[in-house]
Structure 1
């Protein structure tokens, strides 16, 4: 196998399937991604068979765990995709199991980065596993996982090791070879020799391990996000934080109006003020002066 380019090798950990739900993206973002993805050319003669996967015997004590991990990837990544799209996701996982750039167990591939800020398959680190699977879709995912482990292949995705939804455009889409689109997922292989079938020679590790995810972490993160978005409760006090450069007494708010107090600033009606002034002068026996405008003087 030809080694991956150093820069690509360093970027592998960040090349995740994570994406914002389409419903939460703006129309312009989605349209831009769709157009950008169409502009990326599909590799000519880029599809090669990775070969049938037959590394885990059904008699193995680890077969059930491997099936469960693979079914989780199918369900949480592609439950609503067409059947061929679900099978394609399963093949990507098994392609990685046999590629030296990735762990050589099913659960190792699926849960790679699960305890890191960025994980390879987003459902393992974004709290999606807290949602209970829908029974019928889960049964289908398990069936597809068993068939994939038995050697079922999806010819059009060949040696694909990556995919993303068509409504997003990750930076790494330009770094790999685009080979197919199945459902809403676009599939990619490594460029050059690392993406050729000869590079998929790794053997299964012989054991499977599913990590114990700390779901309390997701609850804490959700609570913190909710608290950050909440409108702060009104607390009486100054509406403007005093500045150390302000020159004023300790009890003063620096010449700024404190609208949290009971009083409000009012400006008297000029007409009423004038009438009151004239009334006061009359009460004192004085005759208020009459102002004559310049136009009246002209007459």
Structure 2
């Protein structure tokens, strides 16, 4: 689950489990996905892809049953093939790792600093190997999202629920965006594990990390000079409305709107008549 989803949790614990169970399955067909077996085993790209996928399976589903581990691997591969996500294994797993919100929380919350348990790591590596060799987990179909059953994120109500596997609830995009034909992207041929700041991860693990907000600087000759009329609502974050802030749509009521319109027309009419009068006087004296 996305690290940013922590701020969007509606319920936790038993209440979340009960409410999750009440969300009905979408009833959409669980489609069989295309096999993914395009990275040559033994290549440097395969080594990186296998490591990233093993990490995802281990840190997200180490104690899940085999089907649960395979389901997580399937989500990673589904995302790779969907236009909404990066088209590499490591790109999907580490998406947003150096941003305030990362897609897989283990990549930025310090979990990577914990030494993996040998047995679960080996199991996760085997699942990753099978997935990269073309194994498909049919239980989750075209799932691109999941969360643990003991939390209820707000986005759960915006997606189409597929099923519960182990302790994870799986979802797909609703409509055509979540159907198998929408998964058209191909692997980009590159697998890179991004740079990770160990100091930042240690701070995250201890709960001492605070994201620094860097204010944009004005550079004479290169950027537009700030002006007092450049106003932005506090909830305006790069053209997207942050609904966590007290933003409210304000539309003038019809009565006051009509009154302002009539006043403007009246003023414009008087100005037009005055201009016509001046033009006639000038014509008479010429």
- Are 1:177 and 2:160 an aligned pair? yes
Task: State the Cα RMSD in Å.
Answer: 2.1
Shift of 1:222: 5.2
Does structure 1 residue 95 correspond to structure 2 residue 78? Answer: yes
Distance in 2 between the 1:223 and 1:16 partners?
A: 19
Contact 1:95–1:200 at 8 Å: present in 2 too?
A: yes
Question: Cα 1:82–1:109, aligned 2, differ >3 Å: closer, same or farther?
Answer: same
Q: How many equivalent residue pairs?
A: 206
What is the CA distance between 1:72 and its match in structure 2? 0.2
Rounded to whole Å, the distance in 2 between the matches of 1:17 and 1:156 is 25
Q: Could you tell me how far apart the structure 2 residues matched to 1:17 and 1:93 are?
A: 16
Q: Give the superposition deviation at 1:151.
A: 0.9
Deviation for aligned residue 1:18: 6.9
CA-CA distance at 1:79 after TM superposition: 0.2
Structure 1 segments of 4 or more deviating over 2 A?
17-20, 218-226
1:19–1:168: 8 Å Cα contact kept in structure 2? no
TM-score, normalised to structure 2, is 0.68
Given that residues 161 and 188 in structure 1 are in contact (C-alpha distance below 8 angstroms), is that contact kept between their aligned partners in structure 2?
yes
Distance 1:171 1:160 in 2: 17
Identify if the C-alpha distance between structure 1 residues 224 and 161 changes in structure 2 by more than 3 Å, giving closer, same or farther. closer
Matching of residues 1-299 of structure 1 within 5 Å: 16=2, 29-221=12-204, 225=208
TM-aligned CA deviation for residue 61 of structure 1: 2.6
TM superposition shift of 1:138? 1.0
The higher radius of gyration belongs to 1
How many Å apart are 1:220 and its aligned residue?
3.4
8 Å CA contact 1:46, 1:177 repeated in 2: no
Q: Is the 8 A contact 1:47 1:157 kept in 2?
A: yes
**Unpaired runs of at least 5, structure 1:** 1-14, 227-299
Paired residues of 2:52 and 2:90 also in contact (CA < 8 A):
yes
Distance across 2 between alignment mates of 1:120 and 1:224:
19
The TM-score, its normalising length taken from structure 1, stands at 0.65
Deviation of residue 221 (structure 1)? Answer: 4.5
- CA change 1:120–1:225 in 2 (3 A) is same
Q: Give how far 1:49 is off.
A: 1.3
Counterpart-to-counterpart distance in 2, 1:58 and 1:44: 38
CA distance in 2, matches of 1:199, 1:212: 31
1:62 match: secondary structure: helix
Q: Structure 1 or 2: larger strand share? A: 2
Query: Following the alignment from structure 1 to structure 2, what is the Cα–Cα distance between the partners of residues 224 and 188?
Result: 30
Structure 1 residues 145 and 224: CA distance shift in structure 2, 3 A: closer
Q: Determine the C-alpha separation between the residues in 1 that align with 2:109 and 2:207.
A: 14
Could you tell me which runs of 5 or more consecutive residues in structure 2 were left unpaired when the two chains were aligned: 210-286
In structure 2, distance between residues paired with 1:224 and 1:200: 38
Q: 1:166 to 1:207 in 2, by over 3 A?
A: same
